[in-house]
Structure 1
Amino acid sequence: MQVKLLAASAVIALAIGAGVACSDANRDTVATRPGGSEVGGAAVTATAAPGGSQPTSLAAGEMSVAELVKFAQPAIVRIQTNSGVGSGFVVDSGGYIITNAHVVTGPTGRVASTITVTTSDGAQYAARVVGVDARADIALLKIDAGGLKALEFARLKDVEVGQDVVAMGFALDLQGGEGGAFSVTKGIISQKNRVINEGTNAAIFGSVQTDAAINHGNSGGPLLDLTGKVVGVNTALAPDPTTGTAAPGIGFAVGSDIVKAIYEELRAEGRVNRGYLGIQGFEALRPAVARQLGIPADAGGVVVEAVVPGGPVAQAGLQAKDVIVKVGNIEVANEADLAVALIKNQAGQTVTVEFFRNGQRMSAKVTLGSPPTG
Structure 2
Amino acid sequence: MDSIWLLRLDADGDGPRLAVKDCIDVAGTPTTVGCRAIAEDAVPAALDAPVVATARQQGARVVGKTNLVELCRHADGVNPWTGTPPNPLDPTRIPGGSSSGSAVAVARDEADVAYGTDTGGSVRVPAACCGIVGLKTTAGRVPTHGVFEFSRTLDTVGPMARDVAGTTLGMQLLEPEFETASLDDVPLTVARLRFPGVDPTIDAAVDRALKLAGCTITETQLPEWDTWVNAANELMVYEGYWAHRHLLARADRLEPRHATDIASAAEISPRRVVDCRRVGVAATARLTALLDQHTVLALPTMAMEPPRLGERARTTYLTVPFNLTGLPALALPIPRAGSRLPASLQLVGAPYQEEVLLALGAHIEAALAAEVTG
Normalising by structure 1, what TM-score? Answer: 0.26
Say which structure, 1 or 2, has more relative contact order (CA 8 Å, 6+ apart).
2
Normalising by structure 2, what TM-score? Answer: 0.26
Whose helix fraction is larger, Structure 1's or Structure 2's? 2
Whose strand fraction is larger, Structure 1's or Structure 2's? 1
